[in-house]
Structure formats: C-alpha cells, structure tokens
Amino acid sequence: MTMPDPRERPFLTTAEAAEVLGVSVSSVYRMINEGGLPVVRLGGPRSTRIITAELLRSVMLLDPEPANA
C-alpha cells in the first residue's frame, strides 16, 4: 500500500496503518499505547482510527538506517 493522501483519506484503520508501515497490527497498537501514533476513537473499541497526516509526519521523522551499517 502506498502512503495515502491525508486530504483524501484523513483516517486509516489500524490494519491499513500496519500495511503502510510494514508492521503487524499489534505493533500499531503498541505504538498507539506508547503515544507514538495519535488516534481518533469514533465509538467502540473497534473504531480506532489513525490520523493519516500524523502517520506521515511520524514516518518522515524516522531516521533511515544506513545501507552499509
């Protein structure tokens, strides 16, 4: 999955965020619980949405690892 445009998709499900980040859904929930990903809760426990613009910002802040470390 490519990074969605926040203007077209302002929120992502945890599964969509996991796919974008290349991690498991449980890792996304861990990031949420650690305060690394801001979310919006739209109702019940199955309605957690990640704010796309914040996900983009978080990804852009990650330091890429050198290819020959």
- 41 found inside a domain: yes
Per-residue pLDDT of the chain (69 residues; tens, 9 = 90+): 777 888 999 999 999 999 988 999 999 999 999 988 889 988 876 789 999 998 888 777 655 555 555
Q: How far apart are CA 68 and CA 42, in angstroms?
A: 44
- 67 found inside a domain: no
The whole-number pLDDT of residue 3 equals 78
- 55 found inside a domain: no
The whole-number pLDDT of residue 12 equals 94
Which residue has 């926040």 as its token pair?
6
The whole-number pLDDT of residue 13 equals 93
Domain residue limits at 26: 1-46
Give the tokens for residue 66: 């050198």
- 17 found inside a domain: yes
pTM of the model: 0.76
Strand order from edge to edge, sheet including 11-13? 11-13, 48-51, 39-41
- 51 found inside a domain: no
How many distinct structural domains can be found in the chain? 1
- 54 found inside a domain: no
